[in-house]
Amino acid sequence: MKKNWSNTALVAYALLPKIVKELDFGIQSRVKSSYQSKHLKMGVSNEQLIGEIIELTDEKRKIVNLRYIVGKALKQMKDKSREILIDRMIYKKTFSDISKERKIAMRTTFRRLENAENEFAKTLSSLGFGERKLQEEFANDKYVKTIHDRIVNDKYFVAKNM
């Protein structure tokens, strides 16, 4: 079973504070520009700015919802599965580092990570956010889509693949 979107959700979870900060900046800059646009000859219409603010706010709502769903899924997982998944997907630790820290064989690390990914995907699915739902919700989100593309193209762990 491909778990690209569930892995994307987990990686995005770690980056959500940065994403939300960028969205907040976008919203604030549009709010501030609306006050100045009436003084410009070629200013942007208030309707357009309001539309952009609503769009960014909706995007932020989706991102915050993703954080809640992923957090809930992680809490429902077994401790060992959650820890190895977070080490690999969020902290980008190498398989070698993980196996040394836990004093387990490299092959066991691979197997436990695979099991943890499966458990996470199943937990997300049980919460109503399976692969298809995640794709429907976030395929057009520029931040999450970028993370997804890197995972699909095996470029997320390029520097520390093993």
Q: Per residue in 13-40, pLDDT tens?
A: 888 888 888 888 888 887 777 655 555 5
Residue 161 lies in a domain: no
Using CA atoms in the order 97, 102, 104, 110, what is the torsion angle rounded to 10 degrees?
-60
Tell me what pLDDT residue 158 has.
Answer: 46
Beta carbons within 8 Å of 150's beta carbon, 6+ residues apart:
156
Range of the domain at 26: 4-152
For residue 79, being part of any structural domain is answered with yes
Answer yes or no: is 45 within a domain: yes
Residue 61 domain-assigned (yes or no): yes
Interval 102-122 mean pLDDT? 92
The answer to whether 90 and 14 have CB atoms below 8 angstroms apart is yes
The answer to whether 54 and 119 have CB atoms below 8 angstroms apart is no
Residue 151 or 126, more confident:
126
Q: Which of 22-31, 83-92, 101-110 has the lowest mean pLDDT?
A: 22-31
pLDDT category at 161 given cuts 50, 70, 90 is very low
Q: Is residue 126 part of a domain?
A: yes
Total domain count for the chain?
A: 1
Please give the pLDDT value at position 34.
60
Residue 94 domain flag: yes
The pLDDT value recorded for residue 27 is: 83
User: Is 162 inside a domain boundary?
Assistant: no
CA 107 to chain CA mean position, Å:
27
Whole-angstrom Cα distance, residue 121 to residue 134?
Answer: 11
Average pLDDT of 57-71? 90
Task: For the full predicted model, state whether its pTM sits above 0.75.
Answer: yes
pLDDT at 89: 85
Whether residue 25 lies inside any domain: the answer is yes
